[in-house]
Chain A
Amino acid sequence: MIDIFDILGPVMVGPSSSHTAGAVRIGAMGRTLLGGTPVKARLHLHGSFADTGVGHGTDKALIAGLLGMKPDDLEIPNSFAHAEQQGLEFTFDEVDLKNAHPNTVAMELTASDGHTLSLQACSIGGGRIRVTMLDGVAVSFTGAYNTLIIHNKDDRGSIADVTTTLSRARVNIAYMSLSRSARGGNAIMIIETDEKIPPVVLQFLKEFAGIIHLTYYEKEDE
């Protein structure tokens, strides 16, 4: 079902919903999944992001997102200066990724405590995005829902633990997907929910034995 505010909207800084607004959202997604503003970012632009990125301000938009700006922030064009002030070092280069969507960026992010995150995402039109790769694992989610990303041990029970907890908390699961690197190894569980997930529930989920790491992306407020 089409959201009428995807027809009339988003309110955004130009010039392109896919190359600018979508790029801000990808940056913001990276920041959330990392858990804060990175101190280092290596960004690799693919396809049309590489070809027309500078003219569309895609580079500035990605950095703006990493700094936590929203797609309608008038400071997006000045994001490089803000990055310097906030101690974010970044590099851009151009890459060819096989079979990737034309508007794709791959990012390697380092947080202030040294932990890292790699992420590949594409801008699929109208400012909407899709994350396609997370720490080397193929995934697929859009940030249009509240999203729970769980790195878990790939053994029996982990999934049931999580879904039961969510249903007890009256959080409705809209979509769910599972990916793993190898059988019996680590897996990533992506759960997109209609309702926001309360902090106590997140805390509770973290305690389960099979769960290695948990990140939560709350969808952009209206």
Chain B
Amino acid sequence: MDLDSMQRILEQSLADNKPIWQIALEEDMANRMVTREASMEKMRRTWRAMVDSADSYSGERRSLSGLVGGDGERMRLYYANHESIGGSFTAEVMASALAMGENNACMKRIVAAPTAGSCGVMPAVLIPLWRKEGIPEEMMLQALYVTCAIGSVIATRASISGAAGGCQAEVGAASAMAAGALTYLHGGTGEQICHAVAISLKNLLGLVCDPVAGLVEVPCVKRNVIGAMNAIAAADMALAGVESRIPVDEVIDAMGDVGRRLPVEFRETALGGLAATPTGKAVKERMQKNRKRRRTLTIKDMRWKLTTAPARETKE
């Protein structure tokens, strides 16, 4: 089945008495024409790449622009030495989100989840929970399949790209995926997973994409923190029996609608929001200084000929 509706996935899951993760797994087997083992193996590699990335964090690194680095470590030092307001688990979640966002900005290996800019949200909630509760790896893989089902539905009905739908489509989608995984890991039903997705996405609806100087640094790294914390809140609410009054697919459609109507300034162009603040613009100018003057490329320059016939595509 196409992973294009949470409601349909849920109905299928109830009808066949099959958990959501298994529906996503079977979809992958059919789509990529691979065995169950091969699919699971790839998921295991993905999970381990996440864990490796989290463990390889160093607070010493700085991004190419110099704007980002060290905050994950700052957060860990803080909660090691002080009673943090939200307790040490949430402090570790925040530190993990910052650390992964910084890994990305500093050209370290990460897992796009669903994008590079939002790569910190899922590992920030999943890895600390996995360690704290000693959850078996197999179950973490199942949770990741749940996130794939959620992400596929969002990508199909709305978008998972900041350029197309704003940050609600990146950090928002990541948060919804994480919320679904958390709900699953704590024994939530399929319905509860859907409510967690709906609630988390609603909370970040309208979030714009406004990266300073066009770089995946400010505000991206810290937005991973709100994505992670929002996922915990949504999962806990769903597990408590709180329900989204707007059904999940309608929420996703609304996100897509808001994204399409967002002015282009708020879709990764770095022309609005934080990117357009005096400080944001100053950073951009600093980054531009070393650039060479642009020229218009002529055909002669490239030793290329123009073609008369455009490429035709035919399907066999």
Contact = CB atoms under 8 A, between A and B. Distances in A.
Contacts of B149: 4
A151 B69 CA distance: 49
Given A44-B297, A176-B316, A15 B307 contact: no
A51 B217 CA distance: 15
Contact of A12 (B28, B110, B302): B110
Interface string B279-316: 00000000100111111110000111111111111111
Interface residues of A, number: 64
Interface residues of B, number: 73
A52 B271 CA distance: 13
Interface in A22-46: 44
Interface string B39-83: 000110110010000000000000111000000000000000000
Interface stretch (A71-79, A82-90, A207-215): A71-79
A15 B63 contact: yes
Contacts of B108: 13-14, 74
A54 B104 CA distance: 15
Given A4-B24, A7-B114, A177-B314, A106 B216 contact: no
A51 B291 CA distance: 9
Contact of A11 (B32, B46, B214): B46
A137 interface: yes
A7 B151 contact: yes
Contacts of B103: 14
By secondary structure, the A interface counts as mixed
A199 B294 CA distance: 43
Interface of B: 2-3, 24, 27-28, 31-32, 42-43, 45-46, 49, 63-65, 103-117, 119, 144-145, 147-149, 151-152, 155-156, 160-161, 163, 213-217, 270, 287, 290-297, 302-316
Given A12-B110, A21-B112, 15 more contacts: A2-B3, A4-B151, A7-B152, A8-B46, A12-B116, A13-B110, A14-B108, A14-B116, A52-B270, A118-B304, A133-B304, A137-B307, A175-B315, A175-B316, A179-B309
25 contacts: A2-B3, A4-B151, A7-B152, A7-B155, A11-B46, A12-B111, A12-B112, A12-B116, A13-B110, A15-B104, A15-B117, A15-B215, A44-B297, A50-B291, A55-B64, A55-B214, A55-B215, A55-B217, A57-B64, A93-B292, A97-B297, A126-B161, A138-B307, A175-B315, A180-B309
